[in-house]
Structure 1
């Protein structure tokens, strides 16, 4: 299946001291993470921004994938970074944050730290309960892409939400919520004050559920859901580099 222009994965080989895995969101593409990746590369880090299976092509192809496929992709990338770099951090946007949390739950101290932007672990939408049933009969519904406050900026993502894939995401949410207590790594949690896709309760549940003693929350006042492409993107990028440096300094003591 041809990959949409701009949705290609990206990578940069920098210092072997720090590797950063960037995980994009549901129905999105690496394009939403590329500016962040470029900033991290300029800071000297080794960076990987994979394209999750079923993403960056068509929503119909995505409907043939599920959370185990997406997780297998980021886990494989994480493994490669762990072989090449002394410390590996995992950064994620939306569902990318969900996958990052799962990596932290499964790999423990091998994950040096997490930076999550508007991560999701549930939805309050009433119709979400019907996803397993709808998936049998309805291929797709209206998409959730493009929630950006900055004028003239668009997200390279699907205009439709593949329902079977959405039902699989709900299964991942349940697993991640149940194991939040296993997350003890340093955590930088950045979330928008106004988000039309992921409800604010998600960040609260994560903050209250993890056991990270190093937890920093940053409110994003001038961005919607896709904050990595929005007005607060420079703040996100700067704080994430500061976070890596801080974690590394503490570890060196």
Structure 2
């Protein structure tokens, strides 16, 4: 199919976005191009620009599609339970679409469909005594979880890229001239869970996101109790 191909009757923006979502699930949000998407739909790239826009616009629509699947928890939940009810199911949804976590880290606050979740999350923290630190606490919880998730996404995008490859890191760590007991602990707890087949890797990432979430919640609770650090 060439760029001179005619527009296809019946091709809708929703169908284009659906195919872009499918490509993202198969590869990575940044792992496909407009031309890849056009080939998949058997149309010219110019058709996609006409119906939806360029890569940035299509990517934004993909992220909106993913976010629409996330439910806002019940506002009556205690704040820690509210964030568990938000983050843990959201991890499964966002984690199935590599690259979306990093996009949200970079652009999330500009995404209008996210605003009701942000508003509810800050309101829950205000209700439970976070005061002027409620918005910052929201950002810490959500951004820490997204960062943990994005790390695995990006590693899969460059999984054969030398020093960033986990197998390479594991071999180098075990060969290093240092305390082997400490190194083995690092390897067994921080590298081994993320090496193996996809199911094992995903399970390791799920555990890590939950760990980051719990440590963030505990840390914020302790800071709230003892007083916030001066800016």
**Smaller-chain TM-score range?**
0.3 to 0.5
Highest RCO, 1 vs 2 (Cα 8 Å, sep ≥ 6): 1
Q: Whose strand fraction is larger, Structure 1's or Structure 2's?
A: 1
Which has the larger helix fraction? 2
TM-score when normalising by structure 2? 0.35
